[in-house]
Amino acid sequence: MLRTILIPAALAFGLAATPALASGGAPLTKQSWSWDGVFGAYDQAQLKRGFQVFHEVCSNCHGLKLVAYRNLKVIGLSEEEAKAVAGEREVKDGPNDEGEMFNRPGKLSDHYIPPFANDQAARVSNNGALPPDLSLITKARVGGPDYVYSLLMGYADTPEGFTLNDGMNYNKIFAGNQIGMAPPIADDLVTYADGTKASADQIAKDVVSFLNWAAEPEMDARKSMGLKVMLFLLLLTGLFYALKRKIWADVH
């Protein structure tokens, strides 16, 4: 009996563990994120910097289809800035009164317009590799934000004896240790408006923070609601305790 339960359980565990085992092997670098812990929250200035990195660098290859341009106001872009960002790319819309589809510049209600028309076009431009949409990437990988950070910082010289395929780059973290994405980050790749020094490490942390917000924008609200509920329950417990003492006061 025990066996019939244990064997499938072991198999299921084995399957679930496969992605972790299949990873590049190097341990992830654990970062301390501003939103860690019960009281942690997003750092708005960091999210804005991270968006700048995504927009100027990553969005040349990656989409972000779950974020609408108007959502960017939440992380501190003004209405004008968000509109300007939206207007930089065109989308297909229509049909118009003549039944024709037409291109128009993006607007606030559009979702982030992807760099390629379809997956095939994306692969052709990237040596056959498909740059995934990054909207949920911090949720989609074991290790979440620590994985994405470690991946971005995980490029290294190819060790002796390792055969790298054509157009691939050695990465300590990526499954199989070779990735189709060239190192996307370097010192001073962007110039931050708020004067923060743009080291590669800072850029990686900022963009990962932004991607974590993209995947979980409601986190701050969820946490503060959770705290309020706990506080309320605590008060209620006190009240009920006082009530109980009053009601039972005369029973001996």
Q: Which residues bind ligand HEC (CB under 6 A)?
A: 53, 57-58, 60-62, 126, 129-132, 137, 141, 148, 151-152, 179-181, 184-185, 207
Q: Closer to ligand HEC at the Cβ: 47 or 137? A: 137
Q: Closer to ligand HEC at the Cβ: 106 or 135? A: 135
In the complex, the smallest distance separating the C-beta of residue 16 from ligand HEC, rounded to whole angstroms, is: 17
Cα 63 to Cα 69: distance, rounded to the nearest angstrom: 13
Look at phi and psi of residue 183 and say left if phi exceeds 0, alpha if psi is from -120 to 50, else beta. beta
Q: Which two tokens stand for residue 224?
A: 């503060």
In the complex, the smallest distance separating the C-beta of residue 24 from ligand HEC, rounded to whole angstroms, is: 9
Q: Closer to ligand HEC at the Cβ: 84 or 164? A: 164
Among residues 49, 59, 37, the alpha carbon closest in space to that of 201 is found at 49
Q: Which two tokens stand for residue 26?
A: 């190097």
* Residues 199 and 187: beta-carbon distance below 8 Å: yes
Cβ-defined contacts of 156-159 (< 8 Å, 24+): none
Q: Closer to ligand HEC at the Cβ: 82 or 198? A: 198
In the complex, the smallest distance separating the C-beta of residue 76 from ligand HEC, rounded to whole angstroms, is: 20
In the complex, the smallest distance separating the C-beta of residue 184 from ligand HEC, rounded to whole angstroms, is: 3
Q: Closer to ligand HEC at the Cβ: 87 or 132? A: 132
Q: Closer to ligand HEC at the Cβ: 164 or 233? A: 164
* Residues 186 and 33: beta-carbon distance below 8 Å: no
In the complex, the smallest distance separating the C-beta of residue 197 from ligand HEC, rounded to whole angstroms, is: 17
In the complex, the smallest distance separating the C-beta of residue 102 from ligand HEC, rounded to whole angstroms, is: 29
* Residue 22, CA distances (Å) to 15, 143, 165, 175, 194 in order: 11, 13, 18, 6, 40
